[in-house]
Each structure stands twice: as C-alpha cells, then as structure tokens.
Structure 1
C-alpha cells in the first residue's frame, strides 16, 4: 500500500490568514513521530510519502489533495495544540476523497478518542504509541486480519464507536529495534535541528503537565542510542544548525547512562551538539553535569515555581535548594549560558505574592549563576491533572480546542490564572521592567523571555522590548506605576550596592 503521513503545524488566525506559530513558526525540529512511523511502514513493505506541512509553513490544499489522490491510506498525526489544523486537513481530504481511509493518531486522539471521532471525518483513530497499531491496521485494510484485532484502534461500527484494547507501552527492546526515521524524505535547510529520542515517557506526574506516558520512563541503552545517532549523522547536516534535538521528556534520569552516552560519542569521534531537557534533581547527582558539558548546545530545565510550597503543590519532586544547587553546578562546568530555567506564574492556586516569590527567585538565580530565564503565565493544557480539575468544575471542556483562537482566548487564560486583572497587569509590568534593566547588562541576549497575553494591554500601556533590542537605541520609559528601582525591591533582588551601579548587574560584571 502507499501510505501518506501528514504532519500539521501549530497555527493561529491573523488578519484572516492561517500562519504557523511558536516552535513551528521557526521550524525548530522535525516531527519525529511522523518520520518514525514512515520508517516503520516502509520496513513492513509499504511505500511511504511524508507530507510535512510544518516544513512547508502553510496548509496548501491543492498540494495536499494532489498527494492524497496518489495514496491508498492517509494518516495525520496531531496533539491538542495543532488539532484545529489537523481537522481542517482531514475535512479537505475526506471532502475530495470520501472513500480514502483516513487515520488520525497522536496524543490528542489518544486522550480524547470519542471526541475526535465525533468532531472530524476520520475513519479511524489510533490510541497510544502508533508503531504497532499502524502496521496492524495496514494488514487489516489488506484483508489479512479483522479490524477488531488492531490494538488501540477506534472507529465507527454500526453507528457506535468501538475502541479496541491497546497493547500497553512498547518495551525497551521494541523501542530499540525500531527502524530509523525516514529522514531521507526530510527537506534540507528547513529545520534548525534534527529530532532523535533516547527515552520515552516521564516517571513523574506533575499536575500541570500533559506529557504522554506520565509515571513511566523507558530509556534505551547508551550503545543503542549512540548507534542510532551515528547512523543519523548524515541527516543532521540537512538542518540549518547541524544540531540534534534530544526530544526526550527526561533525558537525564539515568545518571549512569548520561556519562556513558557522552563517553561513546567522544570515543567514536562524533561531532554531536544537542538541545535537551534536563531535571535539576539529576544535575546535582553523579557526573551528569560534567557529562553534558561536551555535547550541550542548549538545555532547558523546568523549574516551574520559585518557592517550595508551590513546587509541592504541582508535585514537582524538587525544592528551591535543589534548583539553586543545579544552577551553581552548571555554572561551574561552563554551561550556564546554554541553560534556561523555565518558570510558570499564575497557577490556579497562586496569589500575587506567590507569583512575586517565583519572580524573585528566578531573578536571583539569573544574577547569581548567570543562567537564562523563561517566565510564562500558566496555560491550561488538556490532559493534565489541573485541566481535569477545571473540567470537573465545568470551567473548561475539550471542545474549546476544536477551532483556532485558544492561544489568545481570554476565557481560557482566566480559567487557569485566577488573579484579578490588575494584578496580572502589575506582575507582567514588573517582569518587563525587570528585563528592560537587564538588557543594559547584556543587550544582545534573551535574558528573561516573557510574553504576556496581547489582550491584556490597553493602547496607552508601554510594552517593553524583550529580546535584547531597544528601538533606535533609546531606553523606553517605565509605566507610570513602576520605576526600575522599585522593581528590584519588589521582587527582592539581593545585591551589593558598593559593587554594582545598576540594580541587577551580574556578579561577574556581564
């Protein structure tokens, strides 16, 4: 069979036109799932076509229909945030080719199978990890087995939705024996990095997180991972930066495996640079930080809260002391400028003072240890424990994510962030003013990355630049209610006046 697999971008409507947003706007890394499923289907003897609309940067309907018209089956992969795009693509394909089998898979149909089957014209949805169900479904469509034997399959049968039992999670052996992704179909010079996976799942269950397979972690062996890395080296050259993206939710959990991977990379003389996610509780253990130093291009650490009570409420399994130690260690091994600590303010349980504690802690982490900071307002994501709590109260429902606009929807924002509007504005202004001061210490750096919701601001509110560039070299004026000196005091930045002239100059003078 000829199998067409479609990757769809995160998009939003601007001035009547759909445009890619977030990581899909900059084309950060290719969608590993679609390319990996392509490799699986090819090994099973099928012809594959990957239509990567993220790389294309638009929903090109004539192109989609032209390619779909040559296929025996079409599969669309989606999560909740790109679900509206997936629905549009599915509708166009089924309208043009009503008899063409259409599958939708990914975390969104896995989490909300009945809703997906009710709200889009897919013939089938696949729940869970897709490698085994895809091969089984192709066999069923060839008449080699019944649909009722395909694991994880959802479909309409005599007017009723039927959901077949799934096989559970793939074993480590099964993951290790997967074929390589079909990166021979990857367009050149489009993506910044090349996606690769060394582990699936996360052993933790943070209440705000909608990551797949929470409570489980399956890491392949160091040897297996580096073997795959070596085989994919020719394809990393197709990226703009020649960098791998380790897309694991938790790369650093096995503190013996991390040094072994780096050791094998160095022994084989592989020139590997990678972006990766790490956990502070791992950074402080064993030789993890030292092992990461030779291969890290960019590292993200989800810190989330700047006070211990908040970390406990979101079940982070971490403390502010651990975060501080991790930042200090990363600075010591020379990684601080490649590391971003990501914080969230406005959890449903948080007050203004709670948010200020996080801003204060994050700011001091930056000043003391030279790391970079992401600060973001809490975003209610379907599939998380906090989302389920809000849904149980009737405040949100999954249908709110069927159409474009939820990224900028004030109601969805306010369903999670339950502070008064004036406090949301005040906190946003504090962060922006704080960043403006820091821009004078390192004007070429993204020191604090922060983007408040656009609808929050009225026309007469000053919106500070947040990416290191001051318009025409002129320092903007502060909002009337805040002065830069007030900001430093309000967030509790600790400094030594006799050593610094600027309120938030870093200890090393950078």
Structure 2
C-alpha cells in the first residue's frame, strides 16, 4: 500500500470545474510535515495537498503550500503570511510516524498565535483514528478518507461560518462534543480537475531515481480491492478502487513532461495494475504518440501481474516501465495465508523470472514478526521459520536476477486492519494518544535505539531486520549506490564514497553468504553515515 493521501490524489482534465470570474477569495494554508527526522534530507511532491487544492484553485482561492523542503523556516513564513492576509484555515496532512510529530509542532505554534483559525488534519493516520486525532488540543477538525471534495466543501462552510453537519467525511469538535458525520462517497477521478502542480516550486521537489534524473511523483488511482490482513485500505477507502482513464493519464503525462522537462514518472498508486486493459491502453497511447518517458515505482500484486498477457508485458517494457513495487511479504506459506495474501511463494519466483525476462526491476517488500500464537514458544518457532523461509526465498530470487531490491520490515499492527485485533489479543499495546504514534516506524531511524512494541519478536531480531533492509540489501543494490554517488559533488568525496563502498560490499556479501548477522559493528558505522552524511 502506498501511504499518501490527505486525503487522496488523482488527476486529469475536466470541464466540470470552471474558473470563477470573481475576485480572488481568502487564503487557505496547507502544511506537509517531513516524514523523517530533521537530520535526514527529504523532498518530493506533496500530492495529497495538491489533491485537496485543485477545486479551491479553480475557484480562485489563494492556496499556500508549505513544507520543510519548500521553505527555510515554514512556521515563520506561515505566521507572517497569516498576519497579513485573511486565512480560512490551516490544513495538515499526516501519515503515521514522524509526520505526526512535525505536524503537531507546527499546529501548536500556529494555534498559539491564531487561536480562532481552525486547524484541520487529514491523511492516512487521521482517517484511521479520527476521534483520537481530533482529541488533540491543537486540532479542531479531521477530514476522513478522500478529501478531494470534502475539504473544499469544508472551506466554503468555514468561510461562511455555516454548520458542518451537512458535510460528509468529517470528525470535529463542537461545544465540548465530538461530532462524526457519515462517510463521504468515493471521488470519480475523471470528473476532477488536474492537480495544480503550479502551486509549488517543482524544482525543489524533483530528485534522481534508478530510472531518471528528474523524476516527478504522480498518482492515477487510489484504493485497492484486495484483502491483505495488515492493510488499512479497508478502513480508508473501503477496498474501493477508482482510477483515471488511460486517456487522461496520457494527457497528464504529456503535459507534465512538456511543462516541467521531466524524464521520468514515479507512480504512487496503492495498486496501479488492477485493470490490465487500462495499463495496456496507456502503453498503446505512449507508443502511438512516441512519448519518451521512463516510469516506475508502480505498485502491483504478484499473482495478478503474472497473469497479464505477454502483449501487455511487451508494451510495458517498450514504453519505459523500469520498476515495479510489489508486496511479496514472506517466503513462509503459513504467513502468507495468515495475512490473506492470496498467493503462494512459488508465484513470487515465477513473477521474478517474468520481470527478468522483460528487464524490469522489482522493488520487493517483505515483513516479519506476525502474531502467530498466544503461546510464546510457538511464536518463537514461527518467527524463526519466517526468517529462514524468507531469506531462503530471497537467495533463490537473487539467483534469477541480481538487479532487484529487497526491503524487510517488522510487522506493525494498524487499527482497522484485520490483523490489529489479533495482535492486541497477543499482548500488543497500541498508543493511546496521537503523540504516541509519532515514533511508530516499520524501519527505525536508529536500529540500536528503536522502541519494540511487539512481544512476539525480540529486539535482536528487530535490529537484524533493519540491518537487512537498510544495510545488506541496500548495499547489494548497485542502482541505489550509483544514485547516491550522483548526489556527491566533490571528486574527492565521490572517490572516498566509492572506495568505502567497495570495501563494505565485500563484508556485506560475506555476511549474506553465511547468513551471519551478529556483532554488527559495520552496520553501526553505516547507521552513523546514514544519520550524518545526509546522503540517504
């Protein structure tokens, strides 16, 4: 699952939303918190905020978007702007983790100065836990789920000081009570205006990837119809998948390439490949009009993609499909069945061979530490077998292709996901407040100081998991290393980086060959570079 929504973000052209001929309306301020601690550089397109801005932008509201990578001092500029202009509200988008910490920091400072201006939160985490979120004293309203239409309606009501009860998809405070309105209905993406990329400085948002020098984030659908037991899609999007047509995706890509001179598109759909015909039609348009572009990061399922026609695979390769993201999850069949993945481990091998045939890189996501039994001894045996089965599977996949990337995470239970209640019954204790979720990470920033919440996996195993995804698999991925090297401007710096990498890679390959992950001094040194060199 792709975790980006403030609420969800599609795009295309539409004739249903006309630009208002009236004078500019009041301002709306939106803030995109950084997803990582402040010592780590991060930039990207705040797709979620663009999604909730497009209607307001057409209506001539002044939408101001702030983020740590867009301004040097976001809160200072937000306060300065608000003092000089009529501002309807401050909106914050947040996923679980550090975005909560950064979002609350901004909300607190804003509320101190402008106590009467409502602060609205949306995104994956507030949609999962709206009541707990709105209980925070620095938050007034939560927009649940897809906010493309809900947020503009809310802005209209706040501007006119109208009652909010008629707006679906809200949870808010009113006279010491918490009011929850009915869920909003799914948005028809082909009826929506295109995302207003012009509201941000695109040059500050682009970055290099394995398949492009200037890669632009994009989304063409949201939701996923499948039933993975660890996923909260069922809560946020009710397992409903809605998507732009191939024709509108093509129009958007053509416009974005021409306007911003990008050479690649990173697709952030929760499941891009739900409809094979849509994928095929898009590829045919790319071929017909000779649109030269690389595209990757597109998320899909192993079984479904393996059933695509050879013609579709050929089209995908011909039109620049460079990388597919997929949740393999585990090499243990019992684990796959427990999370209702609806596939078997052999299908992962078949899929890998298929991608190797068409020279398309795979970004695999695995997890470990599922709550198997209330009996601690049985759990210990199961988790050990999870590791053994998954590492054995990855060995087989590496023999097929050495160009793929593997990520490995400790399973974290999210409220609303089917596996959450099972985890709680096994002793998992979920945070009781919004603040408590701010350090909730699948892969810790510092594996040697991480907080372990699951009782069925040991701290040593959790550290090993982080070591595998960040260090072992990271350094074995030559594409990623080349990409990091490009970020170093100094010739001496490049030489030191490459020399150190070659030495470290020898250690990494030996660790992997013998499956020896004890005494991780080399990994500790890597984490210090990870923290202070600001390359990753």
> Would you say same fold, with TM above 0.5?
yes
Match of 2:351 in 1: 326
Pairwise CA distance, 1:188: 3.4
> Of 258, 268, 277, which aligns to 2:299?
277
The answer to whether the 8 A contact 1:87-1:120 is kept is: no
1:3 maps to 2:18: no
Pairwise CA distance, 1:471: 2.6
> Of 441, 454, 457, which aligns to 1:416?
454
Pairwise CA distance, 1:67: 2.8
Higher relative contact order (CA 8 A, sep 6+): 2
The answer to whether the 8 A contact 1:352-1:423 is kept is: no
Separation in 2, partners of 1:120, 1:446? 44
Pairwise CA distance, 1:421: 4.4
Pairwise CA distance, 1:369: 3.1
> Of 161, 186, 196, which aligns to 2:200?
186
- Secondary structure, aligned partner of 2:276: coil
Match of 1:218 in 2: 242
Which is worse superposed, 213-222 or 195-204? 213-222
* Runs (5+) with no aligned partner, structure 1: 13-17, 448-467, 489-510
The answer to whether the 8 A contact 2:132-2:433 is kept is: no
- Per-residue CA distance 1:289-332 (angstroms, 9 max, x = gap): 22321222332121111132221111111111211111111111
1:309 maps to 2:341: no
Match of 2:56 in 1: 41
Match of 2:165 in 1: 148
Separation in 1, partners of 2:48, 2:504? 45
Match of 2:118 in 1: 101
- Secondary structure, aligned partner of 1:48: strand
Give the structure-2-normalised TM-score.
0.74
Pairwise CA distance, 1:54: 4.3
Match of 1:345 in 2: 368
- Secondary structure, aligned partner of 1:203: coil
**Residue pairs, 1:86-165, within 5 angstroms:** 86-143=103-160, 145-165=162-182
Question: Alpha carbons of 1:268 and 1:348: their partners in 2 closer, same or farther (altered >3 Å)?
Answer: same
How many residues get paired? 445
Question: Alpha carbons of 1:323 and 1:161: their partners in 2 closer, same or farther (altered >3 Å)?
Answer: same
- Secondary structure, aligned partner of 2:326: strand
Match of 1:462 in 2: none
Question: Alpha carbons of 1:54 and 1:304: their partners in 2 closer, same or farther (altered >3 Å)?
Answer: farther
> Of 91, 98, 102, which aligns to 1:75?
91
Question: Alpha carbons of 1:227 and 1:429: their partners in 2 closer, same or farther (altered >3 Å)?
Answer: closer
Separation in 2, partners of 1:10, 1:220? 27
Question: Alpha carbons of 1:141 and 1:405: their partners in 2 closer, same or farther (altered >3 Å)?
Answer: closer
Question: Alpha carbons of 1:295 and 1:432: their partners in 2 closer, same or farther (altered >3 Å)?
Answer: closer
Question: Alpha carbons of 1:64 and 1:317: their partners in 2 closer, same or farther (altered >3 Å)?
Answer: same
The answer to whether the 8 A contact 1:201-1:217 is kept is: yes
Question: Alpha carbons of 1:224 and 1:419: their partners in 2 closer, same or farther (altered >3 Å)?
Answer: same
Pairwise CA distance, 1:254: 0.8
- Per-residue CA distance 1:475-496 (angstroms, 9 max, x = gap): 68969xx9766439xxxxxxxx
Match of 1:256 in 2: 277
Match of 1:290 in 2: 314
Across the aligned residues of Structure 1 and Structure 2, the Cα RMSD in angstroms comes to 3.3
> Of 200, 217, 231, which aligns to 1:209?
231
* Runs (5+) with no aligned partner, structure 2: 1-25, 208-214, 373-381, 483-496, 517-536
Match of 1:363 in 2: 395
Question: Alpha carbons of 1:422 and 1:33: their partners in 2 closer, same or farther (altered >3 Å)?
Answer: closer
Question: Alpha carbons of 1:179 and 1:159: their partners in 2 closer, same or farther (altered >3 Å)?
Answer: same
- Secondary structure, aligned partner of 2:270: coil
> Of 56, 61, 86, which aligns to 2:75?
61
Pairwise CA distance, 1:258: 0.9
Question: Alpha carbons of 1:208 and 1:37: their partners in 2 closer, same or farther (altered >3 Å)?
Answer: same
Question: Alpha carbons of 1:263 and 1:416: their partners in 2 closer, same or farther (altered >3 Å)?
Answer: farther
- Per-residue CA distance 1:180-239 (angstroms, 9 max, x = gap): 1111122133222322222210111212223442522122221122222223334543x6
Pairwise CA distance, 1:358: 0.3
- Per-residue CA distance 1:55-114 (angstroms, 9 max, x = gap): 44x763312212333323221111222112111111111111111122111122222111
Match of 1:387 in 2: 420
Question: Alpha carbons of 1:399 and 1:288: their partners in 2 closer, same or farther (altered >3 Å)?
Answer: farther
Pairwise CA distance, 1:472: 7.7
- Secondary structure, aligned partner of 1:168: coil
- Secondary structure, aligned partner of 1:265: helix
Question: Alpha carbons of 1:148 and 1:425: their partners in 2 closer, same or farther (altered >3 Å)?
Answer: closer
Which is worse superposed, 39-48 or 400-409? 400-409
- Secondary structure, aligned partner of 1:80: coil
Pairwise CA distance, 1:445: 5.9
